[in-house]
Structure 1
Amino acid sequence: MNEQNIIKKSVTTIKNSVTFKIITILLLILILLIPASMITSLIHEREYRKQSVVQEISSKWGQEQTIAGPVITLPYKKFFEDKEGKKTFSIRYMHFLPEEINITGEIHPEIRYRGIYEAVLYHSELEMTGSFSYPQFEEMNIQEEDIIWSGVFVSVGISDMRGIKEQVVAKINDTPISLSPGIETNDVLRSGISAKISLSEKGAKTSFYFGMNLNGSHQIYFIPVGQLTTVSMSSTWTTPSFDGSFLPVEREINTQGFHAKWKVLHLNRNYPQYWIGSRHKIQGSGFGVKLFTSVDVYQKSMRTVKYAIMFIVFTFMAFFFSEVMNKIRIHPIQYLLAGFGVTVFYTLLLSISEHLNFDIAYIISSLSVIILITAYSRSILKNTYASLTVSAILTMLYAYLYMVLQLEDYALLMGSIGLFAVLGAVMFVTRKIDWYAIRLDEHNDSKM
């Protein structure tokens, strides 16, 4: 009997041990990381669903557009001797780029909806003018008599041909030309339109004009194929993001929209004005503008989930100190339920923000969780002051997280300062506690 009493007393001592309670709380925190991870997967799934819907809408309207060209291509005969010693030839292509190119255009944005998702689309009106110098064949060791003059063509690269909704107007030396889809060779441009042309006389420039109405989505890029490339774009979109290899030399953004101008020299890129075959690639030199939208609900929700462990720890910390100070035993299941209450915040935030403004969704979700956990803590702690303390801690946490979410550039700094401040406050409050002397006894333990 004495042995049973000793065992029972030892078990009771362990159960009342602060160390045992802390270990239990740490295990509960690890368990709660599982639903937090599931919420992260849910956010990714919803975000992927949105991207699929946007992709579907864009595919019917027009994808992100990249405009390249015009480029003039001259096919010529390359003679050589075959294995039998007979003289034969193969067709090769010489490509040369404009001496100057000027692009002006307007972007007319619009937002299309499908269910709760939205896609940013645009209709652009573009005009391209400029000129080509007469090609220097001798520099490429090409004889003029070897050139197939009837096969000379000009081409303009368009990344998504489905965006062409009206006939493209084109002129070479003020003479209208008829454009066809596709390009005879993909040495320079992968997709686009082309037409057979006749060059100006030797020593004269070949001028060009292209006018097109092009649909697209999210962004429009240009490839600086000219020896001097100038692009001037304007739009009513108020939140542009200038991106790519070159930034605008001039830009103006206001409540009515934006206007931007780029100026790129051939010295700024890594390919020449003319070459043979597929020796050079031009795709990596694009620049342009994205119709930027503010951080969407999924990105914001993902950022909030990253603070899940901090919220769980601080909530458990509030319960733990209430347990230590008031000598109230709180069962691990009660800790676990409070932790689930914290994690529910993220599903509430995600689901509500898909239908309402994110700020409103944040307020509704945080208030719901604060009220829920405060009411629950009042029932288990049996102490109004302790439950109000839990409520105050949660309120400060959610208010602080909201502030961090608004300060995107300073989020890490503010988060680090906040954690440091909380750690300092906890160390200050608990500096005189004798942890070895504390036992988590029930109220009736003292009566026995």
Structure 2
Amino acid sequence: MDSNHPEGSTFFERLNARMQSSISVRLFFIAILSLILLIPAAMVEDLIRERSYRKSEVIHTINNGWGLSQTITGPILTIPYLEHTITKDDEVITLRHQAHFLPESLYVEGDLKTSVRNISLFESVVYNSQLDFSGNFTHPSFEEWKIATEDILWEEAYVSLGITDMRGIQDQLDIRWNDTEHTLSPGTDNRDLVASGVSTRVPMEADSSSGEHSFQLTIDLNGSELLHLYPLGKTTEFALSSAYPHPGFVGAFLPDEREISADGFTAHWKILSLNRNYPQQWKDDEHRILGSEFGVSLITPVDDYQKSTRSVKYALMMIAFTFLIFFFLEIRSGKKVHPIQFILVGLALIVFYTLLIALSEHIGFNPSYLISSVAVTALIAMYFQAIFKQFKMTAILMAVLALMYGFIFTTLQLQDYALLIGSIGLFLVLALVMYLSRKVDWYALSKGGESE
């Protein structure tokens, strides 16, 4: 029986003996331990997802109480008409239909006032918008459909305006139609176009002396995250300004003019009917306007949970490279590191991420990263000094850990170049390992271990 492995020895004693006597076993153990530590790293990712879901729930609660994303549709002029059909039994069936007419011109000028609402640790950016609508409709024509004048229900004509979250309306809605004021009431009869919104009857006659109908209205509307508008005018212009410095322009059309600064933004859209895939008038549900909306998104600067998730992606590199540093320094010093000591160092590297998440919820990502990296680097360095008792080697370890954490932090800040910087970093790490190990006589080390 091998004298190095007495019969009463435990598995861990035998493992420790093998690690002390074989470089290959030590490297194999380091590789396996690095992979095993990915399990708690994955648990940290689950924790980040859980906290992120919690944040989303809280933000939805805030937005739900203030006003959700708003999409405004209209105004749309709708005129009912009758259609008569004669059956084979000479019975006349009369059906009621609706003709929809879009504005000849639509001008919207708006101002967004943003504010921050919070519950517990989480906050959401919400807005109040003052939107001034103006424009005109050409007098509706039914000639292309060959509908008789007596079948057109002019007296039932109405204007509707779609608003996705009615809870955001802050003041009475009145529309000035030609020279008269009309109060808009909740609900519409053209749900194929406007699922949620307001409407009002407007005076219409078969003949119009002016040939057009002007309108004006102002909307005081609360919302969050998004403000969308449909380009229903033959010519649609939308001018929007806000003091919010992080807008995102979204939807089917981008602004033709925009200025963004730390003091806010201004944007202007001009959209023609030729730019969309539906006409200025149609019957019933012949056409859909979905997909043509455009507007602005109130983007929150890079989410701390997103950065934390991305930082965990580098956990394997941090663990493996730290273990390699320990490995090379123990070769140089001749002092062996126990497997339990490797495990404790690995757990310290994992604790970095939990510290990062917990602190970032209170003081932000960047200060949290600095505090967590300094704390973990100091912890590992003090532990290393207690093992090796060599200040020079401890200083080298601290410098390398600081460089690694600094490299990862830089990569996280430069999202567009993360792959490039990460690849270059890995190349340099591999080059450094190859350089440091170029004069190591691995066979001599193995023989030396065995002779011991």
Is the shorter-chain TM-score for this pair beyond 0.5, marking a shared fold? yes
User: Is this contact kept in 2: 1:188–1:280, CA < 8 A?
Assistant: no
Select the residue among 193, 203, 207 that pairs with 1:188.
193
Contact kept in structure 1, 2:166 and 2:197, CA below 8 Å: yes
Contact 2:35 2:316 in 1 (8 A): no
Distance 1:299 1:174 in 2: 54
Residue 412 (structure 1) shift? 1.6
- Equivalent residue for 1:235? 242
Return the alpha-carbon distance in structure 2 between the equivalents of residues 408 and 245 of structure 1. Answer: 26
Residue in structure 2 matched with residue 179 of structure 1 by the alignment: 184
Equivalent position SS for 1:283: coil
Structure 1, unaligned runs of 5 or more:
none
Residue matched to 2:231 = 224
Question: Distance between the aligned counterparts of 1:371 and 1:14, measured in 2?
Answer: 27
Does 2:330 align with 1:330?
A: no
Contact 1:327/1:441 (<8 A) preserved = no
Distance (Å, rounded) in 2 between the aligned partners of 1:158 and 1:440: 80
Partner of 1:31: 36
Match of 1:18 in 2: 23
Cα distance change of structure 1 residues 215 and 19 upon mapping to structure 2, 3 Å threshold = same
Mapped to 1, the partners of 2:189 and 2:280 lie a distance apart of 20
Q: Provide the residue aligned with 1:435 in structure 2.
A: 442
Instruction: Please state if 1:51 is matched with 2:56.
Output: yes
In structure 2, relative to structure 1, the CA distance for the partners of 1:83 and 1:328 (3 Å cut) is: farther
Query: For each residue in 1:40-77, what CA deviation from the matched residue of structure 2 results, as whole angstroms up to 9, or x when unmatched?
Result: 11111111111111111111111111111111112222
Matched letter for residue 399 of structure 1: G
TM-score (norm: length of structure 1)? 0.93
Corresponding residue of 1:419:
426
Q: 1:317: how far off?
A: 1.1
Query: Secondary structure at the residue paired with 1:45?
Result: helix
Please say if 1:207 is aligned against 2:214: yes
- Segments of structure 2 that go 5 or more residues without pairing to the other structure are 8-13
Task: Check conservation: 1:97, 1:226, Cα contact below 8 A.
Answer: yes
Match of 1:313 among 312, 320, 323: 320
1:251 corresponds, among 258, 270, 278, to 258
The counterpart of 2:366, out of the listed 356, 359, 381, is 359
1:381 equivalent in structure 2: 388
Task: Give 2:134's aligned amino acid.
Answer: T
Is the contact made by 1:327 and 1:440 (CA closer than 8 Å) also made in structure 2? Answer: no
Code of the residue aligned with 2:162 in structure 1: it is G
8 A contact 1:72–1:152 mirrored in 2 = yes
Matches within 5 A, 1:115-154: 115-154=120-159
Secondary structure of 1:187 counterpart: coil
TM-score by length of 2: 0.92
State whether residues 18 and 25 of structure 2, in contact with CA within 8 Å, keep that contact through their aligned partners in structure 1: no
Distance (whole Å) between structure 2 residues aligned to residue 6 and residue 53 of structure 1: 61
- Paired with 1:416 and 1:245, the residues of 2 have a C-alpha distance of 36
Provide the aligned length of Structure 1 versus Structure 2: 443
Distance in 2 separating the partners of 1:156 and 1:111: 28
- Whether contact under 8 Å (2:74, 2:232) holds in the other structure is yes
Does the 8 Å CA contact 1:199/1:206 hold for their aligned counterparts? no
Alignment CA distance shift 1:18-1:208 (3 Å):
same
**For residues 440 and 83 of structure 1, what CA distance do their matches in structure 2 show?**
105
Secondary structure at 1:135 match in 2: coil
- Give per-residue Cα distances to partners, 1:287-339, cap 9 Å, x unaligned: 11122221121111112111111111111111111233333222222111101
Q: What is the alpha-carbon distance in structure 1 between the residues aligned to residue 48 and residue 448 of structure 2?
A: 43
The residue number in structure 1 matching 2:11 is: none
- Residue 265 of structure 1 is matched in structure 2 by 272
CA contact (8 A) 2:155 2:204 kept: no
**Separation in 1 of the partners of 2:405 and 2:204?**
69
CA contact (8 A) 1:173 1:208 kept: yes
1:283 lines up with 2:290 in the alignment: yes
CA contact (8 A) 1:324 1:440 kept: no
Verify the 8 A CA contact 1:18 1:440 in the aligned structure 2. no
Structure 1 range deviating more: 30-39 or 138-147? 138-147
- Farther off after superposition, 401-410 or 382-391: 382-391
Partner of 1:272: helix, strand, or coil?
coil
1: distance between equivalents of 2:19 and 2:262? 66
CA RMSD of aligned residues (A): 2.2
CA distance in 1 between partners of 2:409 and 2:40 (Å):
22
**Separation (CA, whole Å) in 1 of partners of 2:90 and 2:46:** 67
